[in-house]
């Protein structure tokens, strides 16, 4: 018999503890064990990098894959450091300025926090 509460999103009874968080293996929803952060987490979207680190405005990230710049022949090379990122809504969730290329948007799945 499990004493853990069911998932608040899909009502799955197969929840498990991961540190201070509870995790649902069926829908991958994570929430706080005490329930206090659940309401605030639903309003704020958490953006994570390719390895799972939480990103915030002003962070420095490194590109983990060569990225072609749409509409030009330029390429953002692996290892390019991007300073002072800004998080935004949408498919491309990082707004930044890259030296030699200019302002552009990146997907968080192609960067790693430095």
Residue 48: per-residue pLDDT: 92
- pTM listed for this prediction: 0.61
Q: How many domains does the chain have?
A: 2
What percent of the chain is predicted at pLDDT more than 70?
89
The pairing of beta strand 30-32 with beta strand 75-76 = unpaired
Flag whether 67 is in a domain: yes
Instruction: Tell me the per-residue pLDDT of 54-70, one tens digit each, with 9 for 90 and over.
Output: 999 999 999 999 999 99
Q: Residue 78 is part of a domain; what is its CATH number?
A: 2.30.30.40
Residue 35: per-residue pLDDT: 57
Flag whether 72 is in a domain: yes
């Amino acid at each position: 018999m499990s004493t853990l509460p069911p998932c608040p999103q899909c009502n799955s009874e197969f929840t498990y503890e991961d540190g201070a968080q509870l995790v649902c293996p069926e829908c991958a929803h994570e929430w706080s064990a005490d329930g206090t952060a659940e309401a605030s987490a639903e309003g704020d979207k958490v953006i994570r990098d390719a390895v799972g680190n939480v990103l915030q405005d002003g962070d420095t990230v490194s590109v983990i894959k060569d990225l072609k710049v749409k509409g030009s022949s330029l390429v953002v090379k692996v290892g390019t450091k991007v300073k002072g990122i800004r998080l935004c809504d949408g498919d491309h969730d990082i707004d930044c300025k890259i030296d030699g290329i200019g302002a552009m948007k990146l997907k968080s799945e192609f960067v790693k926090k430095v």
